[in-house]
Amino acid sequence: MRGKREYDFYVGNKIFTDGTHVMAILNVTPDSFFAGSRHAHDAVETAEKFLKQGAEIIDIGGQSTRPGAQSVSAIEEMARVLPAVESIKKAFPDALVSVDTFYPDVAQAAIDLGADMINDVSCLADKNLAKVVAQNDVAICVMHDRRKSKIPDLFFDKETGLMRAVDSLLSQGLDKSRILLDGGIGFNKNNDEDWQLLRDYDKLLDMFDEYPFLLGTSRKSMFGGTPDTRLSATLDSTILAVKQGVLFVRVHDVRENTAVINLSK
């Protein structure tokens, strides 16, 4: 494990250079398993709690990405997400807000309300998203998506897939300092692949040594049991992320993950 790495990653006017930071998950979906982030009308209260507990980015999601979940339209996603973005930015103007979407129209509407970052789990399935992000000069997290790949080698697949996304963003004029990458644990991979990726996540960081990475393992099914029994394993993966030099962890349990990050420094 390589440990400490240094980057220049900008979200809004804030720069993140090293260490491991917390992105808090604030879901406004009806089926969210985490009660602390389920309802749009609780968005400000939940965001305030997360910020006090150490979150540096609030990631608002209106589309369930759980296995088997049905996708919702851009219009429905806007109805869920935009009130939360607007209310949080009004209450906490300096808070960094990310929106979890793969729809260009949702991204643009959220940016118009003050969103600082887009979190795209589709690896730019819609190329217009790259244009929206670049034109507005906001940060983006791009997650690898294995759905359409026929490449058997997991890491070579990630290298080629993520590189295509990076090239697309750069070709639209987005500065590299606005790009964060995500290996996509729990997305269109079997359990063995998820564990292989987690153990060797630093290989991805070495492949893309100019770009920081996010790790998203919070309470995922790879840990077995039910979501409410997976906190301990999530914290173990956060400790691993710190040791590997991952810049962000995306989590439900902000206080606990912040504590283990501080203890692992």
Q: Is 220 a catalytic residue?
A: yes
Do the beta carbons of residue 89 and residue 99 sit within 8 Å?
no
Give the amino acid at 154.
L
**Per this entry, what is the length of the chain?**
265
- C-alpha distances (whole Å) from 176 to each of 2, 100, 200, 216 are 22, 20, 24, 21
Chain-centroid distance of CA 11 in Å reads 13
Residue 11 backbone dihedrals phi, psi, to 5 degrees: -125, 120
Q: Is 158 a catalytic residue?
A: no
Handedness of CA 239, 12, 71, 189 (dihedral sign): negative
Residue 45 is which amino acid?
E
CB 80 within 8 A of CB 40: yes
Residue of 80, 89, 230, 250 marked active site:
250
DSSP-assigned letters across all residues of 177-222: GGEEEE--TTSS--HHHHHHHHHTHHHHHHHTTTS-EEE--TT-GG
Q: Which of 5, 131, 220, 230 is catalytic?
A: 220
Measured CA to CA in angstroms, residue 195 lies from 200, 244, 254 at distances of 8, 15, 23
Active-site positions? 220, 250
